[in-house]
Chains A and B, each alone.
Chain A
């Protein structure tokens, strides 16, 4: 490898990188202006095609901002949960519950609180929208980071401690790299999950207030309300373009880059390459950026030397080193955990008080609605499994087909299903299907991918020797499916069911209560009850509905799914 000369002409790669950076800066600046704009609850959405790119960018920036906050949350949560057994016992169930609360459960508190916090400015509403996206992104990231923290090999930690690394260094150079692959993969999932409620996040009714933010979600909402088919099609296309672009320009290169952070170093092959990674590698801005960063760090260090001098390591000849501030850090974690616990307790108390306003008749209505939605969720799982299980097995058993389909399915799965709901509902209505049963189809749309993905992964992960053995012994046709493919798919199927059920419950909120063909359509169910309670600002009913939904999801996970998952792992797991 030759050293690049100091002076060389700008390469095309440099220009492209510069262009991308410039575009990002421009987009962020324009979005920042939107933040400081005077507060208008429901801005007028311009359905002209020319306005769409700006809306798409705004939505994208909200999603990315939410993702950044999600990563910060994941780091904090993971470190706190991994710090002690007591913290773990408290925080993991808390995460389970938070994960099960649909976004509308957070909506009124966030919107009313933040709008009141920034009177006269749009900041509050924007922050609320970002945080609502955050509530759909954060939890799996947090769990992923926590899991990789507790699985870092002990000798690696010991090596770092013996090297004298401080807590921050261990975090930055051991824990984050070790978690990197999981963080990126879950980031992709989170981003897709964040789009799901895009239309709700950007355009919603709360009591007699209409809230609307400029974005592709609100564009779609307005188009649907007006029944403007052209605008609807445009919004869907714009969304697809954005998802593909983000996937190609952001996630794919990132996935390639994280190859180097694999913990098992068994494989000798070099990381796969990607055109964007190559482009960035070739560009000299990358090296420049590194130089600037180094300069900044050394300057900062020089400036802060008097401050962190006392915490410096003991000199080499000293007896021992005690990492500075262990007691302080322990105290901070205890405080954080105690604060979270107190917050959870206070929240439950407030929730309980809020729900005392509900009459027994209200509870009866909530339970009835829950029964309807429960039936729809189960129906959606059955339907989803009916097509996704065989399809997943067919794709997963052929590595070539899996490689071919995976990227396509990933993109399709990232598309927020609710944007298609109005069209599907109109189509089904045309063949005489009411929303009561059409909602089941909508729930299939919002949950099927989880099943498909997990089945593909499980079948593709079958040890090749098993497949060979089955072929050697001449097991064919139905028997091969019974003895190999179905058992191999089962653990993945169960994981898929768990996430799909969660997705379906969540999806009921937009599937049982939606605008289509210029009219509001609803059908009885827990989802429509929650949506309606939000629209009417009936907070006790909203609290009751959300609480019941999260109780059902968490309870079902604990009592039913966990047992099936245990059987799936111990009996059908293929790691022998």
Chain B
């Protein structure tokens, strides 16, 4: 087994691609805007960022599964038109066909590529051996554990000897132990010249995973999805997750993510009219739980990634909760630290009634709620869902309006400011 040489020529390139989707209601959602990214030979690229930043969409644009709304994707300089035949993909949900055996699933791509039966059998067996599933050829997916299923997913991808292997949160549905085991094997498989895989592109929610796997890490920002920064990770393979160099790289990625996810500019400045920002889709108990966790710290302050790791939460979920707490003025985020503010401390210390009263005061001032409450007052205390949704669509073109409405209703109800009449399909002002 020899280490792959340095990244070489550009294999696949996204050139200022944009992607817009039409939502069921007819409104348009801009998922990606003017994203450029090159995948070179013999490299691993990780795509990280908060949910809804279009990482998975970019993956589908690169494979040719969906055509971009604007811009183009080129394979070795030739525009991609249709599904890239030198690509394979591993899915978070495995996407195995339950009525096919392991061997038949692995054979999926071979049959379609017109490989002769004898060679097909050989290629499938080899792929099954590579992922360590020898002896399971005749099993049906439902008889396998999650980790085994994902091995089948990898075998199916490797069987066609793809030049580029795409992975969409490949370890997301697995438990921590299984994920770690499979992660190490993926690096081995990639470094093994026998697989024929030149480059890997992986979408992940885990910072450690990105640093462990990737030579380059593209950090995405939201509203709309775009590449904020690309971090080079020159650590030699195989990587040792406890080495100081590895920890350092994790910290650097943390810093970039913090900059992306908790930008300094987003913090409300006194005296300035706050900008209209969407409240992240988080629940009341999550934010209260954050405040409780922070209060237990000696100085009411902790690194956001430490906290996420300690609580076993995805970093992007964590930052969403921190974001919401910050918008309500209960925490501040100097660097990647989260610190309880005086207001936050007061809320945390209070009982259920005080918490609710404090929340009510803060939420009434939040620009988004101020706007919705204003609409409600103008509408004589009640307003149709559709009208609110239309307004949210205009204000926040990069957010799904329905999920934003649900958040507004949940927090509005908690603060006893507004209520939702499910039967009538309208929001009402709580008197």
Q: Which of A's residues lie within 8 Å of B, judged by CB? A: 153, 155-156, 158-166, 169, 173-174, 177, 180, 260-263, 265-268, 270, 312-323, 570
- Contact between B95 and A260, CB atoms less than 8 A apart: no
- Contact between B112 and A164, CB atoms less than 8 A apart: yes
- Contact between B142 and A265, CB atoms less than 8 A apart: yes
Given A156-B95, A173-B97, A313-B112 contact (CB < 8 Å): yes
B140 at the interface (CB under 8 A from A): yes
The residues of B that contact A322 with a CB separation of less than 8 Å are 81-83
The residues of A that contact B97 with a CB separation of less than 8 Å are 156, 159, 173-174, 177
The residues of A that contact B94 with a CB separation of less than 8 Å are 155
Which of B84-92, B311-319, B369-377 contacts the other chain?
A: B84-92
- Contact between A316 and B113, CB atoms less than 8 A apart: yes
- Contact between A155 and B95, CB atoms less than 8 A apart: yes
- Contact between B142 and A316, CB atoms less than 8 A apart: no
- Contact between B98 and A321, CB atoms less than 8 A apart: no
Given A158-B95, A268-B142, A313-B85 contact (CB < 8 Å): yes
B141 at the interface (CB under 8 A from A): yes
The residues of A that contact B422 with a CB separation of less than 8 Å are 570
The residues of B that contact A153 with a CB separation of less than 8 Å are 93, 95
Q: Among the listed B78, B95, B156, B160, which residue makes an inter-chain contact with A316, where contact means beta carbons less than 8 Å apart?
A: B160
Given contacts A159-B96, A162-B87, A165-B112, 16 further A-B contacts (CB under 8 A): A155-B93, A161-B65, A161-B83, A162-B83, A162-B88, A164-B109, A174-B97, A260-B140, A262-B142, A263-B98, A270-B143, A313-B114, A316-B113, A319-B75, A319-B76, A320-B75
B112-124 interface mask toward A, CB cutoff 8 Å, 1 = contact, 0 = none? 1110000000000
Q: Among the listed B81, B91, B98, B161, which residue makes an inter-chain contact with A158, where contact means beta carbons less than 8 Å apart?
A: B91
B321 at the interface (CB under 8 A from A): no
The residues of B that contact A318 with a CB separation of less than 8 Å are 85-86
B108 at the interface (CB under 8 A from A): yes
- Contact between A261 and B99, CB atoms less than 8 A apart: yes
Most buried by B among A159, A161, A260, A316: A159
- Contact between B142 and A159, CB atoms less than 8 A apart: no
Q: How far is the CA of A265 from the CA of B111 in the complex (A)?
A: 24
In the complex, what's the smallest C-beta–C-beta distance from B64 to chain A, in angstroms? 6
The residues of B that contact A174 with a CB separation of less than 8 Å are 97
In the complex, what's the smallest C-beta–C-beta distance from B200 to chain A, in angstroms? 15
- Contact between A260 and B98, CB atoms less than 8 A apart: yes
Most buried by A among B75, B87, B108: B108
Q: How far is the CA of A323 from the CA of B140 in the complex (A)?
A: 29
Given A155-B93, A320-B81, A265-B141 contact (CB < 8 Å): yes
The residues of A that contact B356 with a CB separation of less than 8 Å are none
Q: Among the listed A156, A166, A268, which residue makes an inter-chain contact with B143, where contact means beta carbons less than 8 Å apart?
A: A268
In the complex, what's the smallest C-beta–C-beta distance from B254 to chain A, in angstroms? 30
The residues of B that contact A262 with a CB separation of less than 8 Å are 98, 142
Q: Among the listed B60, B81, B108, which residue makes an inter-chain contact with A165, where contact means beta carbons less than 8 Å apart?
A: B108
The residues of B that contact A317 with a CB separation of less than 8 Å are 86
Most buried by A among B65, B86, B89, B142: B142
6 pairs of residues in contact across A and B, judged by CB atoms under 8 Å? A155-B95, A319-B76, A319-B86, A321-B84, A321-B85, A323-B82
In the complex, what's the smallest C-beta–C-beta distance from A563 to chain B, in angstroms? 11
Q: Among the listed B75, B82, B114, B142, which residue makes an inter-chain contact with A312, where contact means beta carbons less than 8 Å apart?
A: B114
Q: How far is the CA of A321 from the CA of B75 in the complex (A)?
A: 12
- Contact between B112 and A169, CB atoms less than 8 A apart: yes
- The 4 A-B pairs with the shortest beta carbon distances in the complex, nearest first, are A322-B82, A265-B142, A164-B112, A155-B95
Q: How far is the CA of A223 from the CA of B114 in the complex (A)?
A: 62
The residues of B that contact A267 with a CB separation of less than 8 Å are 142
| Interface residue range, chain B | 35 or more
- Contact between B91 and A316, CB atoms less than 8 A apart: no
Given A158-B65, A261-B99, A320-B89 contact (CB < 8 Å): no
B339 at the interface (CB under 8 A from A): no
Given A313-B85, A317-B86, A159-B140 contact (CB < 8 Å): no
- Contact between B86 and A316, CB atoms less than 8 A apart: yes
Closest chain A residue to B140 by CB distance? A260
B80 at the interface (CB under 8 A from A): yes
Most buried by B among A156, A174, A267, A316: A316
- Contact between B99 and A320, CB atoms less than 8 A apart: no
The residues of A that contact B93 with a CB separation of less than 8 Å are 153, 155
- Contact between B114 and A319, CB atoms less than 8 A apart: no
- Contact between A319 and B78, CB atoms less than 8 A apart: yes
Q: Among the listed B85, B92, B98, which residue makes an inter-chain contact with A319, where contact means beta carbons less than 8 Å apart?
A: B85
- Contact between B113 and A164, CB atoms less than 8 A apart: yes
Q: How far is the CA of A187 from the CA of B82 in the complex (A)?
A: 37
In the complex, what's the smallest C-beta–C-beta distance from B357 to chain A, in angstroms? 30
Q: How far is the CA of A316 from the CA of B156 in the complex (A)?
A: 15
The residues of B that contact A270 with a CB separation of less than 8 Å are 143
The residues of B that contact A268 with a CB separation of less than 8 Å are 142-143
Given A155-B93, A158-B60, A159-B108, A316-B85 contact (CB < 8 Å): yes
Q: How far is the CA of A162 from the CA of B141 in the complex (A)?
A: 19
In the complex, what's the smallest C-beta–C-beta distance from A283 to chain B, in angstroms? 21
In the complex, what's the smallest C-beta–C-beta distance from A294 to chain B, in angstroms? 10
- Contact between B91 and A166, CB atoms less than 8 A apart: no
B63 at the interface (CB under 8 A from A): yes
The residues of B that contact A160 with a CB separation of less than 8 Å are 108
Closest chain A residue to B94 by CB distance? A155
Closest chain B residue to A156 by CB distance? B95
Q: How far is the CA of A544 from the CA of B99 in the complex (A)?
A: 49
Given A161-B65, A162-B83, A164-B83, A265-B114 contact (CB < 8 Å): no
In the complex, what's the smallest C-beta–C-beta distance from B12 to chain A, in angstroms? 10
Given A261-B98, A268-B143, A319-B76, A159-B91 contact (CB < 8 Å): yes
The residues of A that contact B80 with a CB separation of less than 8 Å are 319-320
- Contact between B112 and A319, CB atoms less than 8 A apart: no
In the complex, what's the smallest C-beta–C-beta distance from B282 to chain A, in angstroms? 20
Closest chain A residue to B75 by CB distance? A319
Q: How far is the CA of A315 from the CA of B114 in the complex (A)?
A: 8
- The residues in B between 45 and 94 inclusive whose CB is less than 8 angstroms from any CB of A are 60, 63-65, 75-76, 78, 80-89, 91-94
Q: How far is the CA of A312 from the CA of B112 in the complex (A)?
A: 9
Closest chain A residue to B78 by CB distance? A319
Q: How far is the CA of A48 from the CA of B268 in the complex (A)?
A: 94
The residues of A that contact B140 with a CB separation of less than 8 Å are 260, 265
In the complex, what's the smallest C-beta–C-beta distance from A86 to chain B, in angstroms? 13
The residues of A that contact B113 with a CB separation of less than 8 Å are 164, 313, 316
The residues of B that contact A155 with a CB separation of less than 8 Å are 91-95
The residues of A that contact B96 with a CB separation of less than 8 Å are 159, 265
In the complex, what's the smallest C-beta–C-beta distance from A518 to chain B, in angstroms? 55
The residues of A that contact B82 with a CB separation of less than 8 Å are 320-323
Q: How far is the CA of A266 from the CA of B149 in the complex (A)?
A: 12
- Contact between B142 and A314, CB atoms less than 8 A apart: no
